[in-house]
Amino acid sequence: MVRRDSAVLAVAAGAVWLGPGLAVHCRPVAGALGVPLRQAQSSGVALTFDDGPHPEGTPAVLEVLAREAATATFFLVAEQVQRYPALVAEIAAAGHEAAVHGYRHRNQMRLLPRAFAADLERAIAVIGEVCGRAPRLYRPPYGVFTLAGLAAVRRASLHPLLWSKWGRDWRAHTTPREIAALATNGLRAGDVVLLHDADWYSHPGSHRRTAAALPAILAELRRLALPAVAVSLQSA
């Protein structure tokens, strides 16, 4: 009986620890945690780009967005912000939203709560200094939260956000056509699309395929009469 009770406790503890990490794959878990996957009140689609800035990927994405008069949200890794602050200033000057993806690109489940809180605080300071205003949104690397990490994000007055669509553009063996097809499959108002403007933490050169896929994604948005928008806190 003692062994069985211990096993039950171990399973329960594991569920508590792993549960938040499943939020992006399970809408009920995300809802229970209060982490949006979509922008429920939005009439547009939020294009979001993780892992930047990048000296090739970010300018390529910004060029396409400017050509189409589209806005987006960039979840920035602050160690890269320090390397390329001018790119972040360009993101902000173009009217896009600069958000937090961490100081380093690390899985929350591999960090002690104190270490994660320190990483988050450092990221907020770096991004806020370069942009001239405090960031408002946070997305965790790999889409993985812990309860302690989510609490730290909220204590920092950041709004957590995951995604409802993705292009899986980090993969080695994909194409711009496949990225665009995945990102727009079943697309509707309120969706949040995950893409990447950098290849720091994914397959080398993946940002080129993302930039190449972006015109087709925006063309599909036009066909559906859905504007590409930055994330709105009122609808997140």
For the chain, what are the domain ranges?
2-229
Instruction: Tell me which of 196, 197, 199, 207 is the catalytic residue.
Output: 196
Distance between CA atoms of residues 125 and 65, nearest Å: 27
Question: What is the structure's pLDDT at 23?
Answer: 64
- Residue 26: pLDDT band (50, 70, 90) is confident
Active site residue 196: yes
Residue 232 confidence (pLDDT):
80
50 catalytic? Reply is yes
What is the assigned CATH class of domain 2-229? alpha beta
Tokens 């992006």 appear where?
24
pLDDT in tens, 31-46: 888 999 999 889 999 9
Least confidently predicted of 31-35, 91-95, 125-129 = 31-35
The Cα–Cα gap between 235 and 192 comes to 11
pTM (predicted TM-score): 0.89
